Amino acid sequence: QQPVQSPQAVILREGEDAVINCSSSKALYSVHWYRQKHGEAPVFLMILLKGGEQKGHDKISASFNEKKQQSSLYLTASQLSYSGTYFCGTEGGNGNTPLVFGKGTRLSVIA
Amino acid sequence: GAVVSQHPSWVICKSGTSVKIECRSLDFQATTMFWYRQFPKQSLMLMATSNEGSKATYEQGVEKDKFLINHASLTLSTLTVTSAHPEDSSFYICSARGRSGGGPVLTGELFFGEGSRLTVL
């Protein structure tokens, strides 16, 4: 089942923060986050495998609440390069299954 | 890092013709590949799971006779859109998970190809 992402779209000024949420109606094995620029393939950001896990790289981080079956992606001090559509992909069962992607969150960072 | 290469990156064809898209894993063995389709401003929708040496598993609503998938080797999967029609115009993206170091455990990350934009006139 497709995870639900929110918000659908967000506009930020450079330096502002944003949170993108991803929730599922089913138990999750893992959550993956990707960013896609227009006309390009998705680019991997990070994967969260364990409930309670938090990860970060540079100013982008994410958390995975296994019990609540949801994950959040945090973008701090946003840069123009952060613009794009963010997708969460979820995996159920014991893993080794195809990712099911949410509808995406369109992020626009303006100067 | 692992690389998945897709070819061609774009193709324009006439209605009724067939188009083949190749997906190669360049530095790892991809026992499983996934084919996604993405319409403009929409999400990536899984079409099928391609397993090396066996038949592909298609998602509900995807015509297996129209979208032929062949995964003949550990580094190559192909998607052939047969008798293409304008409504088949889309962005097709393959992705792969490999076996880290040749062992039994699949890596968690899903590696995407560059995508192939199909336009059917």
Q: What is the mean pLDDT of residues A98-107?
A: 94
The pLDDT confidence band at residue B2, using thresholds 50, 70 and 90, is low
* pLDDT exceeds cutoff 70 at B51: yes
The pLDDT score that the predictor gives to residue B103 is: 45
Question: By mean pLDDT, which of A45-54, B24-33, B86-95, B104-113 is the weakest?
Answer: B104-113
Interface of B with A (CB under 8 A): 6, 32, 34, 36, 42-46, 49, 93, 95, 97, 106, 108-115, 117
- The candidate with the shortest Cα–Cα distance to B37, out of B110, B91, B78, B80, is B91
Q: What is the mean pLDDT of chain A?
A: 91
- Between CA B94 and CA B104, with CA B100 as vertex, the angle to 5 degrees is 100
- Which of B6, B34, B106 minimises the CB distance to A98? B34
Collect all residues of chain A within an 8 Å Cβ-Cβ radius of residue B36. 101
The pLDDT score that the predictor gives to residue B27 is: 81
- The candidate with the shortest Cα–Cα distance to B22, out of B4, B40, B38, is B4
Mutation target to probe the B interface, by most B beta carbons within 10 A, among A64, A96, A107, A108 is A96
DSSP per-residue string spanning B58-88: EPTT--TTTEEEEEEETTEEEEEE-S--GGG
DSSP A2: P
The pLDDT confidence band at residue B107, using thresholds 50, 70 and 90, is low
- The candidate with the shortest Cα–Cα distance to B32, out of B71, B87, B6, B65, is B71
C-beta atoms of B108 and A47 within 8 A: yes
* pLDDT exceeds cutoff 80 at B98: no
CA distance linking residue A23 with residue B112, whole number of Å: 23
Collect all residues of chain A within an 8 Å Cβ-Cβ radius of residue B44. 42, 87, 101
* Tokens, residue A92: 């159920």
* pLDDT exceeds cutoff 70 at B65: yes
- Which of A30, A42, A49 minimises the CB distance to B112? A42
C-beta atoms of B44 and A44 within 8 A: no
Please tell me the distance in Å from A77's CA to the nearest CA on chain B. Answer: 26
Q: Which residue is listed with tokens 């992402």?
A: A5
Collect all residues of chain A within an 8 Å Cβ-Cβ radius of residue B95. 99
* pLDDT exceeds cutoff 60 at B101: no
Tell me how far apart the terminal alpha carbons of chain B are, to the nearest angstrom. 37
DSSP B99: B
CA distance linking residue A27 with residue A13, whole number of Å: 35
User: Quick check: A91 and A50 in contact, CB under 8 A?
Assistant: no
* pLDDT exceeds cutoff 50 at B104: no
What are B14-40's pLDDT values in tens digits? 999 999 999 998 888 888 899 999 998
Q: Which amino acid is at B48?
A: A
